[in-house]
């Protein structure tokens, strides 16, 4: 198992070196990263809308995509730098358990992103209504979305479309966790391939 972790850390270190080598100045990189996440969040938004709620697509939801994209990108772009910090600390870890513990923080960030999605839609809808000159109560909107989340947790089979929608909207925040699991799986596969007996 030690070889698996060594290979995993080696792959992660190479990825970090690629980032640090090609990132360029932060004042150029961060706006580009932010714009990338804006478009990614908008793409996920429409993916979720067309596959989960195609009957609800209208002018209101067209307007909602813009604050959703911007607020989602704000979380994703900032959490990106948290992930880079976590990776650096993980690579300095002296034990396998410490290494995994550091990388597991990204899973916590993905969970936070799910909660953030609720507030994104609360604020986005409120902003759209505000610009339409038909403002709604922000606190009431927040309570309504919170009730939806509680209901989805209590009755998941009756809220499959809402759960699916939330998972699709959380795709961008799941990238680091997915990357870690992918690297680990690749290291396990390489280790098993090396141990496989090749017939003569």
Predicted TM-score (pTM) of the model is 0.82
User: DSSP per residue over 128-178, as a string?
Assistant: HHHHTT----HHHHHHHHHHHHHHHHH-GGG-HHHHHHHHHHTHHHHHHHH
pLDDT tens string, the chain, 200 residues long: the values are: 678 888 888 888 999 999 999 998 999 999 999 999 999 999 999 999 999 898 888 888 899 999 999 999 998 999 899 989 988 998 888 888 888 888 888 778 877 877 788 888 888 888 888 887 777 787 888 888 888 888 888 888 888 888 888 888 888 878 877 887 888 888 888 877 776 654 54
Q: Would residue 200 count as lying in a domain?
A: no
Number of domains the chain contains:
1
Longest CA–CA span in the chain (Å) reads 78
As given in the structure block, the two tokens for residue 128 are 């759209």
Identify the domain containing residue 78 by its residue range: 2-195
Any idea how long the chain is?
200
Phi and psi at residue 152, to the nearest 5°: -65, -40
Q: Would residue 150 count as lying in a domain?
A: yes
Rounded to whole angstroms, the Cα distance separating 169 from 42 reads 9
């Amino acid at each position: 198992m030690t070889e698996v972790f060594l290979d995993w850390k080696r792959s992660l270190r190479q990825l970090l070196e690629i980032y640090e080598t090609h990132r360029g100045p932060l004042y150029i990189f961060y706006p580009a990263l932010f714009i990338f996440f804006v478009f990614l969040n908008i793409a996920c938004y429409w993916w979720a809308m067309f596959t989960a709620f195609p009957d609800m697509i209208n002018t209101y939801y067209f307007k909602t995509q813009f604050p959703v994209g911007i607020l989602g990108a704000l979380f994703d772009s900032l959490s990106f730098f948290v992930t880079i910090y976590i990776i650096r600390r993980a690579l300095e870890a002296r034990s396998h358990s410490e290494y995994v513990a550091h990388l597991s923080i990204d899973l916590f960030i993905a969970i936070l992103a799910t909660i953030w999605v609720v507030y994104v839609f609360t604020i986005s809808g409120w902003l759209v209504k505000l610009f339409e000159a038909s403002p709604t109560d922000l606190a009431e909107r927040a309570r309504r979305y919170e009730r939806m989340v509680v209901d989805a947790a209590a009755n998941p089979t009756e809220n499959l479309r809402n759960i699916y929608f939330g998972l699709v909207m959380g795709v961008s925040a799941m990238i680091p966790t997915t990357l870690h699991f992918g690297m680990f799986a690749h290291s396990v596969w390489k280790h098993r391939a090396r141990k496989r007996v090749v017939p003569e």
